[in-house]
Structure 1
Amino acid sequence: MSDDHVYLSLAEEHEDDTRWAYGTGFEDPLHGVDTTVPDGVDRAELAALCLALGDDALVSAQRLAEWTTRAPELEEEVALANIGLDLLGQARLLYARTGQVDGTGRTEDAYAYLRDPADFRNVTLAELPGGDFAFSIARLLVLASWRLAHFERLTASPDPVLAAVAAKGAKELTYHRQYAAEWTVRLGDGTDESHRRMRAGLQQVVPYLGELFSACDVRDEVVAVLRQVTDAAGLPLPAWQPLPRAGRTGAHTEHLAPLLAELQSVARAHPGASW
């Protein structure tokens, strides 16, 4: 394990840290980083961007966690869990930055556990129910490709903290995209049944590209990746239409509330508790 691994602190003890989201034993994810907001950076816009990207990561991580004990093979269960942990780590960093610049001073736990569904700003695709393995792979391929393209641009952000978070996240997202691409090709170029399921997964997921592109202009990069993967898999890339930025404005499907209820249940049942 490399020294800069995001989860190396799991082995460290920090007895004074009693946050619900991550338990004891974690230091501030931005500890030692100069968090001064540079001159000329709009604090409200920066906070809104960090919050939205953090929500995307948190909700996606929760959906991936649903595969624990349910994945086709133990190896895939571990892989999906690790991808979820990567996204959870990204959410931590982004929520921490949000709390520093939005004027509220809220903690990571407050963003994760003490907001109602209408306060979340994740894209709709992240909150949809898990479906079968092919659907989850199709969703991971689309979200990882989109998020990676977005993060690569954010490495040039005038805010050094967001730029650093994006640079670290881009390395993780490169693997997420590769993992999803390999499974897309394996299923698409496999048996008749796996081909059918992978095709159906893409048909369910790709229409939501319209909302992703309205939230961030990386259309050409993402479409090029998806076409390369689907061509290799012998699958058509379904069409999509422009969609409103529903999730980014707090307009969600009926699926988000149950997901958050499960995610937030213990923290809300025992407010202020620690473990």
Structure 2
Amino acid sequence: MPKKPAFLSSVSLTSLASAAALGLGALTLTACQSDDTGAAPSATASSPAAPAADTASTAPDAPKSAAPGDDDGKAATSKGDGAKSSSAKGGDSKSGTSKGSGSKGGGDATSDSYAFTHPCTPQQLSVHVTGRSGAPSQRVIAVRNTGSRSCGLSYYPLVYLDNAKAPNGEKAVHPMIPSGLGGAPAYPVYAGTTTYAVIDLDPSGATTGTVPGIDELNVLPDGDHMPNAATLNFPLPATTSVLHPKLGLYRTTVADAVTSMQSADYQS
């Protein structure tokens, strides 16, 4: 904030006349400049994430070609709302490896420590969903950091299955997740990289007793920091079987994300 002006005057009984002739005091004004830290914007945005430039509205079962390092390809992002935010519970600890020393106390935008204190915003992410080859009941959720700095996500995306026309989420089905979460304060996602979570809609492969009317997969990339309005809606075929779904934690490869999903044992 600007400092108040300091007025300096010196008056004595023997120098009043000369002081009047020379003028009173000297005025010095100083102001401090604003501090631009370059910090990433807050993750508590109040509007839905704008679709990334490389996304298009396609069904999750029509994957696009895979980007380098992606195991299963990507389908497109769609927008919507309706999920309830929840904090992470249960699950194995994350394996976020450091890209950069982070020795600058969080100032290094490529480090884990920077990501731990800078949650991802909807605007810097693109989210894609696709079916997994050889596993028809599984969906791969790919979250890519399209920004120039690292950012942090919750341990797993907030996901639920629903009927698109059902009011108030009365048909919503929430997946099980791994129990025993602990470790770092966030899952770091480096600039230009993609992280994966896998959900199995029907792990048992049952064809009877499944939940009827499910035709939508809803994804909020970070249930700890993002608003409900940032929830994305991905259509599912009307014949999709859903029974006791399982969701894994974010991982750097699809294979590791599948392994995490298979350990899900806690109802989210």
TM > 0.5: no
TM-score (norm 1): 0.23
TM-score (norm 2): 0.24
Larger Cα-atom Rg:
2
**Larger helix share, 1 or 2:** 1
